[in-house]
């Protein structure tokens, strides 16, 4: 009984922490690195006939070269709404519309802009670390409640807390590794 309950709590902790790391990874993908990537725009919300819709649901993307992203709307009447969403985003890019596709030309990043983006990425990484630590704290509260109920012993609680601490350190290290990779990518000229 004890082991099953503890394993469920541990699996839940691992799963939630892994999702936090995946969230950080997706946040990093949306930060511009000087290269065109669909991840930069696919999550933009477009007002499509009065309904907020993610851009990836109403358009396809191609990257013909490293500095150009082509957005091909499935419905040509949505082009003005897509352009408006891109202009309203924090990308800082003006879309060019030729009637059938929208082209986004990515200029090379300036040194100043690269440093700003590194700060943004570090902030997102810190948010990820905080989320992982908050998960650790909530799991500990859950385990302490199980100990008070008599469902697990204090020795078992200590063992599981050590395991959760180990998982926490692994996930924080994964966030740090993602951060180091993204910083290197941003500072690469």
Domain end point (choices 105, 128, 143): 105
* Domain limits for position 157: 2-29+110-187
- Listed in order, strand segments (DSSP E) in 6-144 are 45-48, 51-54, 59-65, 68-73, 96-97, 102-105
Angle, helices 2-29/111-149, rounded to nearest 10 degrees: 170
What is the C-alpha end-to-end distance of the chain, expressed in Å?
Answer: 57
Domain end point (choices 55, 81, 105): 105
pLDDT (tens digit, 0 to 9) for every residue of the chain, 189 residues total? 456 777 888 899 899 999 999 999 988 887 766 677 788 888 889 998 888 999 889 999 998 887 888 999 998 888 989 988 888 887 778 888 888 899 988 877 788 878 888 898 999 999 999 999 999 999 999 888 888 888 888 888 888 899 999 999 999 999 999 999 999 888 876
For the entire predicted model, the pTM comes to 0.71
Name the 3-class secondary structure at 31.
coil
Angle, helices 111-149/154-187, rounded to nearest 10 degrees: 170
């Amino acid at each position: 009984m004890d082991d099953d309950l503890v394993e469920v709590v541990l699996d839940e902790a691992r799963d939630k922490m892994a999702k936090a790391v995946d969230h950080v990874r997706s946040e990093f993908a949306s930060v511009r690195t000087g290269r065109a990537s669909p991840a930069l725009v696919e999550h933009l919300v477009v007002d499509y006939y009065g309904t907020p819709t993610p851009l990836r649901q109403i358009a396809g993307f191609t990257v013909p070269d490293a500095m150009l992203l082509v957005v091909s709307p499935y419905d040509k009447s949505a082009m003005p709404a897509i352009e408006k969403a891109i202009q309203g985003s924090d990308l800082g890019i003006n879309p060019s519309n030729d009637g059938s596709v929208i082209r986004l030309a990515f200029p090379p990043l300036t040194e100043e802009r690269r440093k700003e983006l590194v700060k943004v990425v570090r902030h997102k990484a810190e948010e990820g670390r905080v989320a992982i630590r908050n998960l650790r704290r909530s799991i500990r509260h859950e385990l302490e409640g199980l100990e008070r109920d008599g469902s697990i012993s204090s020795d078992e609680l200590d063992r599981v807390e050590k395991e959760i601490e180990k998982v926490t350190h692994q996930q924080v290290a994964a966030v740090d590794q993602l951060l180091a990779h993204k910083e290197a990518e941003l500072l690469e000229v």
